[in-house]
Amino acid sequence: MDRNVNGTVAEGFEPVRDAFVRNFTELGERGAAVAVYRDGRKVADLWGGTRDVDGTEPWERDTVQVLHSATKGVAAAAALLLAERGVLDLDAPVAAYWPEFKAHGKERLTVRHVLAHRGGIPVVDRPLTPAEASDPDRTAATVAAQAPLWKPGTDHGYHPHTYGWILGELFRRVTDGRHIGEWIETEISRPLGGLDLWVGLPAHQAHRVGRAGRVQPPETPGALRTRPKRSVAEAYADPASTTSRAFAAMTPPPDDNDPAYRAAVHPSSNGIATADALARFYAALIGEVDGVRLWSPATTAAATRAQSEGPDRTLVVGTRFGLGHMLHGPASPLLGPASFGHPGRGGPLGLADPETGIAFAYVTNGFRKTVTSDPRAQALVRAVRTSLTATTAGSGA
């Protein structure tokens, strides 16, 4: 094994190790980890590089990193657990739990619309600073007062920040004031043996977070270099576009290395975890992990049913969403047609595939200018597919 990489893989999953090593040698990886579970059993657990994107100290097994929007997959699972327990009705108006939210024509905007990015409020008229966005009273008042860009339920567009602000307030309303990070800790992390996964990092865990930063991908031959469609590039460059305004709902962009930002609760963007914890979480959504299963099979089936698909008003390209998770498609390739999960801007990815029993997670400290499909994560997903083909053939199945 490359001296830069530590950990183990089960027999047949060597392609995952090989792809992880190539990410360092060919794709400019600085520090990262990947974990894979199959039918509730860990089959790959690898980490390597440096814990800080610009440092020399090695990434350790317990190094954690910010997940960006891969956090949304955890928040979505928490909402579906509330629904499974009868606490939250997905087809009820948000205003049934939060009366102030009905302002400006949002009285029929449902919880399902929020999870499927169909609510029509990906932007806010006055962006919030990271400090303001860390105040749940402020975010709740802001989205409650916001008029939608389109009639809720009639179209979809990714809600980069407002998704979490709405879910965060819904949790406070239906759980007697508990914030979603606390709920995830007690109802998801603890039952699974104390996952190294938080939305709102505790102070005593702050020393474990590696320093993140932007990295430039290495140059590739022209024939292999991928370029965004012109319409996408134009949308991001136009400050008046829904794309630009949605991502600028928190302005300036938060600093991943700011202790105050890490400690705040941002259900859309600042989850912090090891790859193993994120993969173990997804494994427990589709089956038992050490005797614990988070969801019923019926909830898994509901989670994988498309609620939104087609041209995305925010991301411009075609996207597919279930109940809070992205589904497999060209804009966000996952393991296969049955997969659900969520990427994080710049690299991270967590997913589950009920058809194969696979749960997968990748975290990194080197973020790139990618939104839904990072080449390092995709290389690892392809390696999992290769491993499945080999192990299935080898078993005679």
Residues assigned a catalytic role = 69
Contact yes or no for 23/52 (Cβ under 8 A): no
Please report where in the chains the tokens 């600093």 appear, as a residue.
255
Which tokens is 205 given? 């865990």
Side-by-side strand order, sheet with 349-353: 5-9, 41-49, 31-38, 358-364, 349-353, 340-343, 326-327, 318-321, 308-311
Instruction: Copy the structure tokens of residue 127.
Output: 């962006």
Instruction: Tell me the Ramachandran region of residue 178: left when phi exceeds 0, alpha when psi lies from -120 to 50, beta otherwise.
Output: beta
How many angstroms separate the first and last alpha carbons of the chain? 30
Cis-peptide into 15, omega within 30 deg: no
The span from the CA of 68 to the CA of 160, in Å, is 10
Closest CA to 169 of 261, 105, 85, 97: 97
Residue with tokens 């290769």: 386
Give dist(CA 385, CA 285) in Å, integer.
20
Q: What single DSSP character describes residue 267?
A: T
Phi-psi region of 290 (alpha: psi -120 to 50; beta: other; left: phi over 0): left
CB within 8 Å of 86: residues ≥ 6 apart: none
Q: What sign has the CA pseudo-torsion 246, 360, 373, 262?
A: positive
Rg, C-alpha atoms of the chain:
20
Q: Are 374 and 347 in contact (CB under 8 A)?
A: yes
CA angle, residues 137, 140, 314, in degrees to nearest 5: 140
Cβ–Cβ under 8 Å, residues 198 and 187: no
Please name the residue that has the structure tokens 């047609």: 337
- Whose CA is closest to 349, among 367, 338, 337? 367
